[in-house]
Each structure stands twice: as C-alpha cells, then as structure tokens.
Amino acid sequence: MSYDKNNIFAKILRKEIPCKKIYENDYVLSFYDINPQKKIHALVIPKGLYTDLDDFIRNAKETEIIEFFKAITHVADLLKVSNISGGYRTLSNIGKDGGQEVPHLHFHIFGGEIVGKMVT
Ligand code: AMP
C-alpha cells in the first residue's frame, strides 16, 4: 500500500491541523488521541512517512526505528504510566484486519486505569 499524504496524521505533521502535543523530537511526534478510549490515550507517530509497522520495519533506517521505540517509553514516563507507576498498554493496528483507520504508523498508549482485556 502506498503512503497517502492526505491522511490526518500527515496533516498534523505538516501543522495543517492542530494536535494536543505531548512530546516531539527529530524523529517522532506524540499527541493525545482525539477520541480517548481510556483515561490516558496517547499516540506516538514517526515523522517519516510510513503506512504501518511492517512498512516501517522494512524500510526505515535503524536510527528511526530505535528512536521511535525509545520515544514510546519516554512518552509513557512523561504521562506517568510506565511500569513503575501502574503500567499501560501499547498497540499498533496494521491494515484492514488489524482495524487500522489512519494509514500513518502509530502506536497507541492506553493507561491511567486498568485497561482491560487484550482484544475485544
Ligand atoms: P487506528 O484505528 O489504530 O488507525 O487509530 C486511529 C486513531 O487516531 C483513533 O484512535 C482516532 O481517535 C485517532 N485520531 C483520528 N484523528 C485524530 C486527530 N485529528 N487527532 C488525534 N487523534 C486522532
């Protein structure tokens, strides 16, 4: 699947639409989900244009991959949901069967309460 430059997260990265930013560096942007499913619901996205996790792992530079996964833990620390303060769930939906709605790689971070069953 080729990358759709008109997806909503591409527009957020280009600052065409706003987001409630949590963290940003050269490689990633993190912001609150507009429709939170848990008390804390954040998203972490790479600045590189990748449709999903498979595209990212196959095509991104190692530095991009390392910085992306480091950023998830950093954001969990900023949100005070890391495993020293209760824990959280991170997940990434991939493609149609995975329930992915926005075709720019993102990891969800859910926390601030017991998240519940893994899959519904
Ligand atoms: P997914 O189903 O994994 O593709 O998740 C896409 C997520 O993006 C959903 O949880 C949406 O609520 C969220 N979302 C869509 N538009 C925005 C937006 N403008 N700002 C923040 N989150 C958004």
- Annotated catalytic residue within 41, 74, 104, 106: 106
Annotated active-site residue 74? The verdict is no
**C-beta 99 within 6 A of ligand 1:** yes
Q: How far is the CA of 102 from the centre of ligand 1 (A)?
A: 7
Q: What is the pLDDT of residue 85?
A: 84
Q: How far is the CA of 7 from the centre of ligand 1 (A)?
A: 11
Closest C-alpha among 44, 64, 52, 29 to residue 108 = 44
Q: What is the pLDDT of residue 96?
A: 96
Which amino acid is located at 50 in the chain?
Y
DSSP states along 15-56: TSS---EEEE-SSEEEEE-SS-SSSEEEEEEESS--SSHHHH
Q: What is the pLDDT of residue 14?
A: 98
Contact 88, 111 (CB under 8 A): yes
As given in the structure block, the two tokens for residue 20 are: 């409630």
Listed range (1-5, 27-31, 38-42, 87-91) with the worst mean pLDDT: 1-5
HSE-CB of 48 using CA atoms within 13 angstroms: 17
